Structure 1
C-alpha cells in the first residue's frame, strides 16, 4: 500500500506521513494520510464493505459518477483496501446547510442521469447488463431474511412492480446520507459506494430528505431542485420516493439483523424505529 500512497502524496517515506482516523465501524475504517498539502484517503473494509472496488468497476468508472477517483486497490485476507482521492474535508453531516442539501439533490439527479445499459451485471446474477437488481420479488426475499415484519408488504411489492413499468432503472448509491456527501468548497462528491446497485426507485433522495427533515429543513425545495435537475415528472418522483423509502428500510433492516448486530452492537436499538418507519411508508402506498 505504501508505494501508491507515497506516489500520490509525494512523501519521501512512510514515516513522513501524517495519519488521521476519520471513521471506524465494525466493518470498516477510513484514514486520511497526508504529507504537506497532499493527501489521500485509505479505506479498509470487511464484510459488506470489502467489495467497494467492484462498485467502482461496475458503475463509478464506466459511468464517470461523482465519486473519489480510485488510485489503488488490493485485498488482504478478507478485507478490501482502497486508496482514494481526497475530495474534501467537510461533509454535509458536519455542515448541514440548506444550500448543501439542495446541492446534494442535484448530485442525486446527476447520478440517476447516467445511462446504465453498458454496465456489467454482477457475476453472481443472471440479470442482463443494466437490469434492475431490486425486482418486486426481492421485497419478500428480504422480509423473510429479516423475519420480524408483522404487517402486509403487498402495497410495496405492487408499487415497486409499477415503477419497473413506468420509471427508468438507474444507479442507486445505497447510503446517500450526509456523512457520505463531501465538499471541497467547490463541488460535492458522494463517497462510500459498496452498496450501489440498479433500481427504478429513489431511495437515495428519500434518505437525503429523511435527514433534511430531521434537521428542520423544508422538504419541498429539495424535491423541487431534484425534479428540476433531473427533468423528472413530479408525480412519478413522489411514487419513486415512497417505494425508495420502503426499499431502504428493507435493506437497512437486513443489514442490521445479518451483520450489524455483530459489527455494530448498538444497531439492535435501531430495529424498532426502522420497522415503524417501514410500516408508515407501506401504509402511505396502500
Structure 2
C-alpha cells in the first residue's frame, strides 16, 4: 500500500513514470527512519525515487539549489520538490538499484573514492562552514565530552590554512553510494556543507576497514584522482573524522534521541572513537 502523502507529488510522478494513475504504480519501500521515508515507484521500465523528510531531512532541496545543481554534482536529478509545513517531498531520478552497502566490494570502494574526488573538485565560493571555533561550540551543545578537544581545534585550523574549501556530502557511507552497473552516484544530500576537511573520505574508509578492506588503496585512489598531496590528504581525513563524530553526536543529542530512539546506544561508541582520534592528533 502506497503512503497517502504521495498525493502532493502525484502529477510529476505520473509524468515521469508514464503511469495512467497512482494506483497502477508498483511501490517498493527502500528506507524508513524516524525523519525520512524513501520509496521506489515504478510502472513498466520507468521508475522514480520519492523521498519524504522531516526535521533535518526536510530541506534536502536546499542542498540541490546550493550545490548539486549549480556544481553539476554526481547526484540524482531533482524532478520535483514540494514543501508543506515541517515536511519536504522530493521526486528524484532513479540512478540504480545496487548500493555499496549491498555489494561492498573493493572495486566499489575505489569507485566511491573517485566519486568523492569529483565532488571535491568542484570549486565553491564563500567561507568554510566548519571553522575551528565550531569544535568548541558543538562540544558545548553535545555536553557529554569529558576530554579536551584542543588538538582537533588546532589541527582543523591548520587544515584551513593548507587545503581549499570544497563540498562535504556529510553522510558519504555505503548506503548512500548507488550504481546502475555503469556509473556511481551519491544520494541523500540534506547534510551537505562546505569545509576543507575530508570527513567524507574518513567515513568511506572507516566502513571499508570494518568490512575487512585495506584502507591504503582507497586513500591512494582518492589522492591520485584529486591530485592531492598524500600528507595533506591524510591530515584532512583525520581531522574530518573528528568533525564527523561531532556532527553525529550532535545529531543524536538534538534530534536522534527523539526520531531514532535506538541511537542512544550509539553515543558511547562514538565518544570512544572521537577520544582515540583526538589522542592521535595530540
Q: Same fold (TM over 0.5)?
A: yes
Give, in whole Å, the separation in 2 of the partners of 1:77 and 1:146: 28
Q: Are 1:262 and 2:276 counterparts?
A: no
Partner of 1:107: 115
Equivalent residue number for residue 123 of structure 1: none
Distance (whole Å) between structure 1 residues aligned to residue 176 and residue 256 of structure 2: 18
Alignment match, 1:211 = 207
> Residue 77 of structure 2 corresponds to which residue in structure 1?
69
What's the secondary structure of 1:32's corresponding residue? Answer: strand
Corresponding position: 1:169 with 2:173: no
Which residue matches 1:122? none
Distance 2:73 2:112 in 1: 14
Question: Which contiguous aligned blocks of 4+ residues in structure 1 show a shift greater than 3 angstroms?
Answer: none
CA distance in 1, matches of 2:36, 2:220: 35
1:134 aligns with 2:130: yes
Deviation of 1:131 (Å): 1.2
Between the aligned partners of 1:7 and 1:266, the Cα distance in structure 2 is: 39
| Residue 42 of structure 1 pairs with residue 38 of structure 2 | no
Partner of 1:205: helix, strand, or coil? helix
Of the candidates 14, 23, 27, which is equivalent to residue 15 of structure 1?
23
TM-score normalised by L of structure 1:
0.95
User: For the residues of structure 2 that align with 1:9 and 1:208, how far apart are their CA atoms?
Assistant: 33
Question: For structure 2, which runs of at least 5 residues remain unmatched after alignment?
Answer: 1-8
2:248 aligned with 1:252: yes
Q: Which residue of 2 aligns with 1:59?
A: 67
Residues 64-96 of structure 1: per-residue CA shift (max 9 Å, x gap): 000000000011221000000000000000000
Aligned residues: 274
Q: Counterparts of 2:237 and 2:17 in 1: how far apart (Å)?
A: 41
1:200 has 2:196 as partner: yes
Cα deviation code 1:215-246 (max 9, x no counterpart): 00000000000010000000000100110000
1:145 to 123, 141, 146: 141
Match of 1:238 among 234, 238, 263: 234
**1:282, 1:115 → 2: CA distance?**
29
Once residues 37 and 85 of structure 2 are traced to their aligned partners in structure 1, the CA distance between those partners, rounded to angstroms, is 16
Stretches of structure 1 lacking an aligned partner (at least 5 in a row): 118-129
SS in 2 for 1:58: helix
